[in-house]
Every structure is written in structure tokens, then in C-alpha cells.
């Protein structure tokens, strides 16, 4: 039963739309009660006489079947309730009054409310007139989420869990609020687990990269690598190698791309080189490797810092979040950081120590 503010009394309008339906429901209830007593009495009699006559056993079994058939028939004959417009408004107002900090009305949609949830989620719940709650569930729409991926995950989980956990035929907004809060918590726990797992994976990849770079430096090519710059799960590392000709540049690229952890990066080799050959001709060029406009900034730094005889390569591992213009800032910073170590690198080369890591 719902409370009717217009008449200031409890009504049965939610369950019975007219006096005939009310009378029919009462009659069905009375018949069920009487038949239950009759069934119980027949059960006792048949059970006490079952040892005397097989017919009594048959009667007992048929009594069970007949009662079950009658109960199903009566339950199917009672129509599920459909709320009137006033009752829909009452339920929305009840939710907003019960959860004033989490819920608020939706402008120009009287049968809807907005539910603010933890972790920057927001859900709009709309009660469909002429069918709720007997024939249809509330309409759900995620109006706010931390990102599109979590938006889709939350929407899918809510629609699935609502149909699994909430039955038709009863007001379900109160239960829906609790369900939404539970789903958000589960999604956040899964997100935290995924972030931790991704971080462990990135750390393992970085350790592998360090090992492979060390092997590369020791065996074939002198390559120095900068400390990484990490921003929103994206990682930037610069590599530097001395070159005297284009063949040296190609050899450095080949070796860097042979490293698995570099090869799987979103942008493995964004490069720029600048060297003077034996004839005194200056050679310089650059390549974006899919990061449009990045290598030009690296070439500009080579020229401004008057670097000669080196190729600088930047590797970017994409973390799933777009960085916008910040990615160019990070590429320039790791490039500058590695170029500033050139005096130390040349001093190390003169001592005959080969490549090293910075």
C-alpha cells in the first residue's frame, strides 16, 4: 500500500484499480485459505488410512497436485499492479526525500531522479508510466562517469544486475539505489586491481628493458638511456648513440627495435640525428614514428644545443590516457636530459669504457 497525500489516507489503489478487482482479490484469498484447510484435513485423513487402502495413497498424491494446480491458477489470475502517475510522483519524491544528499529531481522529467554515486558516477533513473512496475523496469542512463570505459562497464552491470536481483510487480527504487552503490564499489575494486596489475606489468617490462639495453650496450652498439618520465601511465625514455654516417643511424634503429619491450611500445623510435661526415657535410633528419610533430622538436634541440655526431631516439609507452600537448613537453624534456649528458658520455668513451646507462 502507498500513502496518498491527496486524501491523507492509506489506499489500495496500487493493488486494485476498482472495487471489482478488490472484491476479486479478496475472494481469491478466502478461497485459498479455505482450500488450504481442506487440503490439510484431507492430508491427515489420507495419511492415517494409507496403510489400509492403496486408494487413499492415490487420493493423497492427487490432493497435492490439485492444490498446486489451484494455487498457480489463482496466482496467475491476479494482475500485477501498475502505478498511476500520482503514485510514480510519490515514489520519486520518497527517494529524493530519503536520500537528499545523493538524489535530486530532474527538470522537465517528473518521473525521474538523478542518483549521485561515489567515484564520480551519476545515474538517471526514469520510471516509465503505464507499465512500471508490473511490466517494465526503471530506465537507467549513466550521465557521468570517470571515463567512457567505466561508463560502459557500469551501465552494462546495472542493467544486468537489476534484472537478476529485482522482481517485477513491486516498487524497486529503494533497492535500486542500494544496488547501484554496490555495483559502483565492485567496479572501483576491480579498477584498483587492474591498475595494480598494470603497474606490476610495467615494472616488469622496465626491468626487462634495462637488462636488454645493458646487453645491447655491452655487445654491439653504444647506447645511453635517460631516466623515464611517467605521466598518467604513459612512459617516455630517450636513447642516445654516437653516429658518423647513415649506416650507424640505421644500425642503432635496428638494435633498438630488436628489443622486445621497445618494439611493443606505441611509438618505439621517434628519432632525430645530426652529424658531420668525413667530407665536412652536415647531415640532419628526423622521423615522428606516428607521433606527429614530435621529432621536429627533437631536431630543434639538437640544433640549438649544437650537437654533432649523435642520434637521439625517444620511446613512448602509451598508458591508455590521452595526454594532449603534454606529450610533446615530455618528449622534449627527456631529449634535453639525455643531450646534457653528452660531455660525460664523451669522457667515458675516451676512457674506453664503451656504452653506459644514464
Q: How confident is the model at residue 5 (pLDDT cuts 50, 70, 90)?
A: very low
Average pLDDT over residues 266-294: 88
Where in the chain are the domains? 85-192, 224-352
Can you give the length of the chain in residues? 358
Please state, rounded to an integer, the average pLDDT across all residues of the chain: 77
The closest alpha carbon to 222, from 315, 336, 353, 334, belongs to 353
Residue that has been written with the C-alpha cell 500485477 in this structure: 80
pLDDT at 66 over 50: no
Least confident of 110-119, 156-165, 225-234: 225-234
pLDDT tier at 1, thresholds 50, 70, 90:
very low
What is the pLDDT, as a whole number, of residue 70?
A: 45
Residue 146 reports pLDDT greater than 90: no
The correct CATH number of 224-352 out of 1.10.240.10, 3.40.47.10, 3.10.129.10, 3.30.230.30 is 3.30.230.30
- The mean pLDDT value for 26-45 works out to 64
Of the given ranges (4-8, 96-100, 116-120, 271-275), which has the lowest mean pLDDT? 4-8
- How far is C-alpha 285 from the geometric centre of its chain's CA atoms? 42
Residue range 284-326, pLDDT digits in tens: 999 888 888 888 989 999 888 888 889 999 999 888 888 888 8
Least confident piece of the model among 15-29, 67-81, 305-319: 67-81
* pLDDT at residue 92 in the model: 93
- First and final CA of the chain: distance in angstroms? 75
- Superfamily for domain range 85-192: Ubiquitin Conjugating Enzyme (3.10.110.10)
Which band of pLDDT confidence, cut at 50, 70 and 90, is reported for residue 139?
very high
pLDDT, tens digit, for every residue of 153-177? 899 999 999 999 999 988 999 999 9
Give the pLDDT confidence of 176-216 residue by residue, as tens digits: 999 999 999 998 888 777 667 777 777 777 777 666 666 55
Q: Which three cell numbers mark 327?
A: 606529450
d(CA 311, CA 328): 18
Amino acid at each position: 500500500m502507498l500513502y496518498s497525500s491527496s486524501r491523507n489516507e492509506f489506499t489500495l489503489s496500487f493493488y486494485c484499480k476498482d472495487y471489482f478487482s478488490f472484491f476479486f482479490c479478496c475472494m481469491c484469498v478466502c478461497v485459498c485459505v479455505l482450500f488450504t484447510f481442506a487440503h490439510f484435513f484431507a492430508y491427515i485423513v489420507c495419511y492415517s488410512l494409507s496403510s489400509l487402502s492403496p486408494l487413499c495413497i492415490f487420493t493423497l498424491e492427487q490432493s497435492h497436485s490439485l492444490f498446486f494446480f489451484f494455487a498457480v491458477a489463482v496466482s496467475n489470475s491476479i494482475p500485477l499492479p501498475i502505478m498511476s502517475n500520482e503514485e510514480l510522483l510519490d515514489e520519486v519524491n520518497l527517494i529524493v526525500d530519503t536520500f537528499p544528499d545523493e538524489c535530486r529531481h530532474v527538470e522537465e522529467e517528473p518521473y525521474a531522479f538523478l542518483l549521485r554515486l561515489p567515484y564520480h558516477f551519476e545515474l538517471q533513473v526514469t520510471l516509465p508510466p503505464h507499465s512500471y512496475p508490473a511490466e517494465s523496469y526503471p530506465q537507467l542512463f549513466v550521465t557521468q562517469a570517470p571515463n567512457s570505459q567505466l561508463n560502459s562497464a557500469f551501465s552494462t552491470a546495472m542493467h544486468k544486475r537489476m534484472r537478476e536481483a529485482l522482481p517485477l510487480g513491486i516498487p524497486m527504487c529503494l533497492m535500486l539505489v542500494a544496488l547501484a552503490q554496490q555495483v559502483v564499489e565492485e567496479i572501483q575494486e576491480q579498477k584498483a586491481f587492474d591498475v595494480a596489475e598494470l603497474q606490476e606489468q610495467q615494472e616488469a617490462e622496465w626491468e626487462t628493458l634495462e637488462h636488454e639495453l645493458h646487453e645491447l650496450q655491452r655487445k654491439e652498439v653504444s647506447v645511453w638511456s635517460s631516466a623515464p618520465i611517467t605521466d598518467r601511465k604513459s612512459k617516455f625514455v630517450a636513447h642516445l648513440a654516437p653516429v658518423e654516417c647513415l649506416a650507424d643511424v640505421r644500425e642503432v634503429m635496428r638494435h633498438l627495435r630488436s628489443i622486445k619491450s621497445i618494439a611493443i611500445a606505441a611509438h618505439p623510435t621517434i628519432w632525430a640525428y645530426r652529424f658531420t661526415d668525413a667530407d665536412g657535410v652536415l647531415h640532419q633528419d628526423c622521423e615522428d614514428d606516428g607521433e606527429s610533430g614530435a621529432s621536429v622538436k627533437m631536431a630543434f634541440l639538437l640544433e640549438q644545443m649544437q650537437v654533432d655526431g649523435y642520434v637521439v631516439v625517444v620511446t613512448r609507452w602509451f598508458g591508455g590516457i590521452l595526454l594532449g600537448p603534454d606529450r610533446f613537453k615530455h618528449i622534449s624534456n627527456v631529449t634535453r636530459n639525455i643531450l646534457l649528458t653528452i660531455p660525460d658520455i664523451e669522457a667515458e668513451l675516451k676512457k674506453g669504457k664503451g656504452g653506459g646507462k644514464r
